[in-house]
Amino acid sequence: MLLMLRRPFFWIIALAVVAFALAPVVGNDVSMRESLLLDALYITLASNLNLMLGYAGYVNFGSIVFFGLGGYICVWLVNSYNWPLIPSLIVAGLGVSGLALIFGFGILRLRGAFFALATIGVIEAVQAFVENFTPWGGSAGVYLSGEIFKPLGGPAHALWIIYFMMVAVMGLSLYLSFAIKTSKFGLGLLAIGQNEDAAAILGVPTSRYKALVYSVSAFLPAIAGGLYFFKSAFIQPSDAFDLSLSTEALVVGMLGGEGTVTGVAIGAFLYEELRGYLLTSSTFANFQLVVSGALLLLIVLFFPGGLMGFIYSRFPRTQKVLE
Amino acid sequence: MLGILASIIDGVLVGLVYGLAAMGLTLIWGVMDVINLTHGAMIVAGMFALFLLTSVLGLNPYAALLPVLVGGFLVGVALYWISIHRMVGRPPLMSLLSTFAVNLVLIGVGTAVWGTALFNVNVSLPGITMGRYTFPGAHILAAVLAAVIAALLYLFLQHTRLGKSVRAVANNREAAELVGIPTTRVLAISVGLGVALAGLSGVLIATLFPFTVLSGDGYQLKGFVVTVLGGFGNPVGALLGGIALGLLEGAVTPFVPVSWTLVIEFVLFVLVLIAFPAGIFRSRRGAL
Amino acid sequence: MTALLVLEKVGKRFGGLQAVKDLSFEVREGEILGLIGPNGAGKSTLFNLINGVFAPDTGRITFVGTDITGEKPYRVARHGLARTHQIVQPLTNMTVLENCTVGACFGKDNLPLHRARAAARDAVAVTGLQDRAEARASQLTIAGKKRLELARALAAQPKLLMLDEVLAGLNPTEVEHMIGVIRRIRERGVTILMIEHLMQAIMSLSDRIVVLNFGQKLAEGVPAEVAQHPQVIEAYLGNPKLAAELQGSSA
Amino acid sequence: MKRLFLLAAAVAFVATPAFAQDTITIGFTDSQTGPLNVDSLGQQRGYEYWRDEVNAAGGIKVGDKRYKVKFVSYDDQSVGGRVQQLYTRLVTQDKADFLFSPYSSGLTAPATVISEQYGKIMIDSGGAEEKPFETGNKYLFMVITSASHYLSGAVDALKQKDPNAKLALVYSDDPFSKAVLAAAAQQAKAAGLQIVMNESYSPSTTDFGPVVNKIVSSNADAFLGGGHYSDGATLARQMHDQRANMKWMSILVAPSDDKFAELGPAALGVTVPSQWELQVNYKPQFGPTTAQFAKAFQEKFHAKADYHTASGYTVGVVLQHAIEQAGSIDTDKVAAALNAMDITTFFGRIKFATDANHHGLQVAHQMVLAQWQMINGKLGRQVVWPPEAKSADLLYPIPAATQ
């Protein structure tokens, strides 16, 4: 771990996190904060998905299940048992990770497209289940009262605290990606991603590693989900388990360059800013789907390695610095 | 008791149509390992083609099948050259992304033109009544047509030169190339066929239910379920998978609250995947 | 000499095909044991049974006194048993050095990452891949990939190295070089079990030979004995070229 | 470095403040894309029509000043996930003075949170569900009748026609429809009607075949349910195709759209609880009469006004009235004026609950029940309930489908 301190990339992440935390504070700019909060959320989701997709080579359409379940557990604990926010978040993270671990051993027997399909099945099944699950309000969801922000100093203050927590979760996600990538665990995952059979024969405990990374990749998104829906003060199944958000996280990873820490983060940042821009610009409002689709197609056709693939090939020395 | 029987018959009828809706998806998947995420949009294109052909040209709904077949094929070939050709042989995710991108464009254009309003094509055909239960004529005819189209596809794949080339490419692209099959052309034709099938199923579905620009997603999702049940690239398997899904929906509904059907459907889907990763109805190796 | 790997009455059936039947032999510490036999004799299946890709239907496999029958491949690797593949299986997008690091990390000694890198460098050097250490595996020639297979297995610091046709597809110069590498590995005290079709090479490298045919052991002994064994000659008569090689190499 | 640069770029295109004197900025989202786009469009036209009228008349009068109305709106894609981001943007960046609701309960709920967090008034015509109003809000006001009263008229009418009716309640599994039908179930029980089936279906359902069979098997002769446009219309068509032969059909939302006529014979006899119909005739104390509104709307949009446009328009009228009463655009003063409001518009009487646990819920407005009938050989809606507001007699039972 101490070795990481000597890598320049460690400090690049630190710098990015500090920049995120300070940027909206400087001008007390609330709308920038809201926009950056979503950026931080997307970076968190995409980075953790990247552990499965970029490292272990498994396409997980169901990554949003972690986010949604985390949100539900957290909101439920806060609402029904009056738990404070932090313990609720931790329980949400651990609970969802635990579920993912158990579940991972079953579903990770599948490979390639079959795994991808099964994860679509998982997200649909979980959403359909929660819609029928009355303790969580079924399809109507759960509403939090305005009172919940009192312990954090009222809504205005609470939103800042939540923002800083979300940035912290983003920082942890980036460090987690970085730490795993430079570890033995990460090496084993990359080997699985390249050729699972060969990896097994070389001694990589494939089933255990896959289930483990599935579970690890669930932890921070679950906490991010808890934060996000606590902030929203409202959770309903269609928002919590939105398949298109999962797909977006995949797209973001591919755009930035799967398997890289930097690329995925920048990809998430740019994607979310672009979507936000298209959504709110009067010129593109009616065509924002067309524009994002066309852009995506061009990138896929002509920059298949994603952003980092492009940067690495143009500036090979960056490979040494940017993971 | 009669109610359960009616649900089962209904399930088979709708299931055949589901099977047809999945057939294009599974054909492309089987031939070139590409999951075509524009499939849902292509089904919708078929629906709107029906709407335009019947309301503007005043065509009989079933006469729309032929132009949709031809048009769908051409659109499919174009789709191949735009978004799939460069992806063949690249990691499977890439084609997923490129077709996802085309899908965004298609849905975007569709919403800009039609909005997400509901469209309805009224088809009145005499139905068959059994006690208090009625099977609408359109359902019966759609099921029969779905079966006929599947049979034609099967004959095409088994008994024509081109069909055999498609199967050869599906089994082993390199070997097919070595024996002189123009694989690129065959791949383009397969995508054309897959999209044409999607369009045809769209036409048939639109004679049964009202639809919107966004209706495709649901059928695409059902297509995945059917593919898993029926195995890849196999038209007969797709029909059987479709019937299984239709039966499941029909037979489960009388016994459990309607809102639990989806839970059961998808839990079963995941379990079937884990238990039979190559599909239940798939008997032998080698797609098609 | 103690027995490192012991097979007792090992059998495996695939549908109607009895791939391996009642097979027993042992690999002794420090030797090179050659495994030969016509195509389809069950040689590669046997490798897959030993390192856990398939579980045998019958029989027992013991490695350094531990029963490893039916253990998962990664567990077998931990015991100190490494192998190469007949059809190369590189981790394509990783460099040569990273490929070997994976081998070293998850091999017998379960090394931490920084020590694994050192072991990987060593293995790269032994197999003569130093110049290509930073190249991606996908960029190597066939010969290079074959050597990478070997280097990667070696990096795991195995007690027993199983080589599946490492010489196939190489030109004569490359074969010479590879033979040299195998000799060097053996000198480091690694026991080797190798499948090879190149008769001359295997006859000269091996201390002992086991001959398989239709999944059964046909003969076992030092190369000269085996080459004279009437049943072996008969089995190879189906393939006159091989039979000639067999005769030639023992002469 | 690269990140800093990106951040700087982000800052540059996020920060473009808009400030204008003598205008009132009103923010909302609408569903230009996604499944709710039809219903949302009606509401949006109502908003815009009101704005154009007010501005044409010189603006809203505050003291001796006149404020023009400016709208800022974004596409929420019919997804709740974007709503809070967009409403936050409306408040913080576009400096909206007041907020209108998006369409549907599912999208309104997340939007109400922002209005409370930032202390902005939101007037709601798109979400009828009560829950967001029950967590102690200060700035929410609903002009429409809330979900639990949607079907009370239908239950009353049905009880009068056939006290022994057997009811099937089958509805979309979304917050609004569930709230409506939960209340209807209680009202039906209280009225002594028998409920033989009470189930929800997934909003993504496309084939109602098995559901219709189940309804037939339940021996029900009256149907109450539906949800939003697509599922409601599909259900109506399949009930007809499969000859379920209900004597009574009440479907939420879908039949209140004129496009419902496209279903042809399947539409005949279907009733819909409606916030407003062209035939209702209240005497407005403020704003236009129904006839004036309908005529002007028809001229402008070449489409018939329906209840979504009427309620959207009313949102504007209510805000305008409150601002004029308050003589200020200060949030708390306008909120006080809204709390004290009790007026009749062409949409009906408007008065808001003021107790903390239900603040802002509509307590005065009444819904009507409309039915699709043949009018001069064409399908059209008639108001059939309550009796004092009816424009035609209730058609009961619905004539059975013929071969």
CATH number at residue D196: 3.40.50.2300
D1 close to D46: Cβ distance less than 8 angstroms: no
Hey, are the CB atoms on D213 and B122 less than 8 Å from each other? Answer: no
Tell me, yes or no, whether D1 lies in a domain: no
Q: Is the pLDDT of residue D20 over 70?
A: no
A201 touches chain C (CB under 8 A): yes
* Cα–Cα distance for residue pair D54/C109, rounded to 1 Å: 82
C43 found inside a domain? yes
More confident residue, B91 or A156: A156
Is residue D42, in this structure, part of any structural domain at all? yes
Please judge whether A19 and D7 are an interchain contact, meaning their C-beta atoms are less than 8 angstroms apart: yes
Buried/exposed C157-175: b ≥16 CB within 10 Å, e otherwise: bbbbbbbbbbbeebeeebb
* Distance in angstroms (rounded) separating the CA atoms of residues D249 and D211: 15
In terms of domains, do D191 and D248 share one? yes
A242–B contact, CB cutoff 8 A = no
Find the domain containing C127 and state its range: 3-190+208-217
Q: Which one is predicted more confidently, A25 or A292?
A: A25
Report cis status (omega within 30 of 0) of the bond before D397.
yes
Q: Which residues of B lie inside 8 Å of D (Cβ-Cβ)?
A: 3, 6-7, 10-11, 14, 108, 111, 115-118, 120, 122, 126-127, 129, 132-136, 138-139, 208-210, 212, 214-215, 218-219, 249-250, 253-254, 257-259, 261-262
Contact assignment for A139 to D136 by CB distance below 8 Å: no
**Number of folded domains in chain D?**
2
Residue range C150-198, pLDDT digits in tens: 999 999 999 999 999 888 888 888 898 889 999 999 998 899 999 988 8
B231-245, C13-27, D264-278: range with highest mean pLDDT: D264-278
More confident residue, A322 or A200: A200
The string of DSSP letters for A176-219 reads HHHHHHTSHHHHHHHHHHH-HHHHHHTT--HHHHHHHHHHHHHH
- Dihedral over Cα of D28, D31, D32, D33: its sign: positive
pLDDT score of C90 more than 60: yes
Cα separations in angstroms, D244 against A115, B129, B257, D241: 42, 11, 19, 8
Judge: D237–B210 Cβ closer than 8 Å, yes or no: yes
pLDDT for the residue B126: 85
Asked if D270 and D292 sit in the same domain, the reply is no
| B94, B104, B259: residue with CB nearest A289 | B104
D93 φ, ψ (degrees, to nearest 5) = -100, -45
Domain definitions of chain B by residue range: 2-275
* Helix or strand holding residue D324 (H, E): helix D307-326
**pLDDT band per the 50, 70, 90 thresholds, residue C247:** low
pLDDT of residue C244: 66
For residues B274-280, give the mean pLDDT: 71
CA C101 – CA C96 distance, rounded (Å)? 9
CB proximity list for C234: less than 8 A, separation 6 or greater: none
pLDDT class of A253 with cuts at 50, 70, 90: confident
- Chains B+A touching (3+ CB pairs under 8 Å): yes
Q: pTM value?
A: 0.87
Are D240 and D265 members of one domain? yes
The alpha carbon of B70 is separated from its chain's Cα centroid by a whole number of angstroms, namely 16
A181: which residues sit within 8 A by CB, 6+ positions away? A55, A261, A323
Does A23 score more than 60 pLDDT?
Answer: yes
Considering only the beta carbons, identify the residue of B108, B109, B277 that sits closest to A114: B277
CB < 8 Å to D214, chain B: 3, 7, 253-254, 258
Query: Which residue would you say has higher pLDDT here, D8 or D223?
Result: D223
Q: A124 pLDDT exceeds 50?
A: yes
Structure tokens at A191: 């080997």
C-alpha distance from A168 to closest chain C C-alpha (Å): 28
Per-residue confidence (pLDDT) for residue C248, from 0 to 100: 62
Q: Is residue D3 part of a domain?
A: no
- Which pLDDT does position B102 carry in this prediction? 93
% of residues, chain B, pLDDT over 90: 43
Residues of D in contact with B116 (CB under 8 A): 33-38, 78
Cβ atoms of D346 and D294 within 8 Å: the answer is no
| Residue whose C-alpha is closest to residue D361's, from D201, D200, D215, D147 | D147
Alpha-carbon gap: D59 to the closest alpha carbon of chain A (Å): 24
The answer, for D37 touching chain A at a CB cutoff of 8 Å, is no
pLDDT for B286 equals 38
Is C240 a residue whose pLDDT tops 70? no
Q: Which residues pair with C160 in a beta bridge?
A: C81, C191
Strands A234-235 and C3-14: unpaired
**C-alpha distances in angstroms, B281 versus B246, B273, B285?**
15, 12, 12
CA distance B74 to B79: 9
Q: Out of B38-42, B113-117, B282-286, pick the least confident.
A: B282-286
pLDDT of B10 higher than 70: yes
**Confidence label for D326 from pLDDT (cuts 50, 70 and 90):** very high
Mean pLDDT, residues A298-316: 82
CA neighbor of D141 nearest in space, from D177, D98, D107 = D98
Mean predicted confidence (pLDDT) in B9-15: 91
Closest C-alpha among B193, B190, B211 to residue B202? B211
Terminal CA-CA length for chain B? 39
Whether residue D269 is contained in a domain is answered as yes
Measured torsion, CA atoms of residues D282, D284, D285, D288, in degrees rounded to the nearest 10 = 180
| Per-residue H/E/C for chain B | CHHHHHHHHHHHHHHHHHHHHHHHHHHHHHHHCCCCCCHHHHHHHHHHHHHHHHHCCCCCHHHHHHHHHHHHHHHHHHHHHHHHHHHCCCCHHHHHHHHHHHHHHHHHHHHHHHCCCCECCCCCCCCEEECCEEECHHHHHHHHHHHHHHHHHHHHHHHCHHHHHHHHHHHCHHHHHHCCCCHHHHHHHHHHHHHHHHHHHHHHHHHHCCECCCCHHHHHHHHHHHHHHHCCCCHHHHHHHHHHHHHHHHHHCCCCCHHHHHHHHHHHHHHHHHHCCCCCCCCCCCCC
Return the SS3 of D2. helix
Q: Do C89 and A203 touch (CB under 8 A)?
A: no
Q: What percentage of chain B has pLDDT greater than the value 70?
A: 95
Contact in structure between D373 and D269 (CB atoms under 8 Å): yes
Please give the mean pLDDT across all residues of chain A: 88
Element of type H or E holding C235? helix C230-237
**Residue A268 confidence (pLDDT) above 80:** yes
Query: What CATH number is associated with residue C158?
Result: 3.40.50.300
3-class DSSP assignment, residue C58: strand
Task: Inspect the interface and report whether the beta carbons of A301 and B86 lie closer than 8 Å.
Answer: yes
Do B259 and D34 lie within an 8 Å CB cutoff? no
Q: What is the ipTM of this complex?
A: 0.83
CA distance A253 to A169: 18
Q: How far apart are CA C19 and CA C12, in angstroms?
A: 6
**Do D155 and D245 lie in a common domain?**
yes
Which residues of chain B does D238 touch, with a Cβ-Cβ cutoff of 8 Å? 209
Phi, psi of A174 (to 5 degrees): -65, -45
pLDDT greater at residue A89 or residue D202:
A89
With cut-offs at 50, 70 and 90, classify the pLDDT of residue D305: confident
B288 — pLDDT class (breaks 50, 70, 90) = very low
Percent of chain A residues past pLDDT 90, beyond the cut: 41
Contact A257, A264 (CB under 8 A): yes
Query: Do D187 and D221 sit in the same domain of this protein?
Result: yes
Return the closest-CA partner of residue B82 out of B188, B224, B221, B232: B188
Is the pLDDT confidence value at C120 over 80? yes
Candidates A143, A147, A163, A270, partner chain D, best to mutate (most D CBs within 10 A): A143
| Tokens describing residue D133 | 């109003």
Q: How far is C145 from chain A (nearest CA, A)?
A: 14
Residues of A in contact with B108 (CB under 8 A): 287-291, 293
Q: Does the pLDDT of residue D82 top 90, yes or no?
A: no
What per-residue confidence (pLDDT) applies to C237?
60
Do residues D288 and D256 both lie within one domain? no
Q: What is the CATH number of domain B2-275?
A: 1.10.3470
Are the beta carbons of A187 and C53 separated by less than 8 Å? Answer: no
Q: What is the DSSP string of D114-180?
A: HHHHTT-EEEESS---SGGGGS--SSEEE-SPPGGGTTHHHHHHHHHH-TT-EEEEEEESSHHHHHH
CA distance C220 to C212: 9
Longest CA–CA separation in chain A, Å: 57
Whether D254 contacts D272, CB under 8 Å:
yes
pLDDT of residue D10: 45
Q: How far is CA B212 from the centre of its chain?
A: 17
Residue C229 lies in a domain: no
Characterize the bridge pairing of strands D194-201 and D222-226: unpaired
Pair B95, B34: CB distance under 8 Å = yes
Mean pLDDT across B77-98: 84
Average pLDDT on B69-90 reads 91
* Chain A residues touching C89 at Cβ < 8 A: 195, 197-198, 201
Q: What is the mean pLDDT of residues B217-232?
A: 85
Confidence class of residue D167 from pLDDT cuts 50, 70 and 90?
Answer: very high
What domain range includes position D296?
20-145+281-351
Query: How far, in Å, CA of D230 to CA of D78, rounded?
Result: 14
Q: Same domain, yes or no, for D117 and D160? A: no
**Domains in chain A with CATH codes:** 2-321 (1.10.3470)
Q: Examine the pLDDT at D5 and tell me if it is beyond 60.
A: no
Q: What is the mean pLDDT of chain D?
A: 88
CB atoms within 10 A of CB C8: 15
Q: Does residue C227 lie within any of the structural domains?
A: no
Q: Tokens 């099938």 correspond to what residue?
A: B197
pLDDT at A286: 66
With b for 16 or more beta-carbon neighbours within 10 A and e for fewer, the C83-111 pattern comes to: bbbbebbbbeebbbbbbbbbbbbbbbbeb
Q: D403: how many CB neighbours lie within 10 A of its CB?
A: 8
